[in-house]
Amino acid sequence: MDIVFLFSYPVVCNAGDRITAILRNDSAVLQYQRSLLIMFNVFKDKYRMAVAGLLLEGIVLFIMGIALHYYATIAAACLLGLGVCFVSVGLNTMYQTMIPKAMMGRVLSLVSVLLNASVPLGQLFGSMIIEYYSMTLVLTVFGVIVTISLLSLIRVVTIENNETATMKKEV
């Protein structure tokens, strides 16, 4: 979903091929920095990292919807990549700690299938949506939706932290 909007975004900004190339490459240096943040365990709590990533994604999409400007788009794309990185690692960690070991392979393969199927469907429906609605509206609405989805993750994190605290008290 994010990919479709980012690749069609330069058309709305009238920025042309230069911004498209920058958004598609998203600077390898930034990708390495994101990986290093995770590798050196900057976020000790992976659940909070997922929450922070979702919050960052929602805010960035909302800002992209409001500010259709070349430099704002470049900065937002970098922050969006950081948010996606945090969410993917945080959620994968959450899956691995919450799912019983006997069910792990089946559940993670189902999650993988759903995530891989969502990419072409997101491109299909995303391109249809931006034909009828302005990019500002679409990005703003999806920014709000992603931020609201954060509430469900906060509940899961709170329950998981309570269970962990209870287990530590029993031991």
Residue 121 inside a domain? The answer is yes
Residue 72 inside a domain? The answer is yes
Say whether pLDDT at 156 is over 60: yes
Say whether pLDDT at 62 is over 60: yes
Residue 162 inside a domain? The answer is no
Residue 10 inside a domain? The answer is yes
* Mean pLDDT on 84-104: 84
Say whether pLDDT at 127 is over 60: yes
What is the gyration radius of the CA atoms in the chain, in angstroms?
Answer: 18
pLDDT of residue 151: 82
Name the nearest CA neighbour of 48 among 171, 158, 130, 168.
158
* Mean pLDDT on 88-116: 86
Which pTM does this prediction carry? Answer: 0.69
pLDDT of residue 132: 92
Residue 137 inside a domain? The answer is yes
Say whether pLDDT at 1 is over 70: no
Question: How many Å apart are CA 95 and CA 86, to the nearest integer?
Answer: 14
DSSP code string of the chain: -HHHHHHHHHHHHT-THHHHHHHHH--HHHHHHHHHHHHTTS-S-HHHHHHHHHHHHHHHHHHHHH---HHHHHHHHHHHHHHHHHHHHHHHHHHHHHS-GGGHHHHHHHHHHHHHHHHHHHHHHHHHHHHHS-HHHHHHHHHHHHHHHHHHHHHHHHHHHHHHHHHHHH-
Residue 161 inside a domain? The answer is no
pLDDT of residue 17: 60
Counting the structural domains of the chain, the total is 1
The CA-atom distances, in angstroms, between 48 and each of 19, 53, 146, 161 are: 32, 8, 16, 11
Say whether pLDDT at 63 is over 80: yes
Return the higher-pLDDT residue of 132 and 71. Answer: 132
Residue 168 inside a domain? The answer is no
Percentage of the chain surpassing pLDDT 90? Answer: 4
pLDDT in tens, 31-42: 666 667 766 777
Residue 98 inside a domain? The answer is yes
Answer yes or no: are the C-beta atoms of 57 and 3 closer than 8 Å: no
| Residue 124: domain span | 2-155
Tally of residues, the chain: 171
The mean-pLDDT minimum among 1-5, 16-20, 67-71, 144-148 falls in 1-5
pLDDT of residue 5: 45
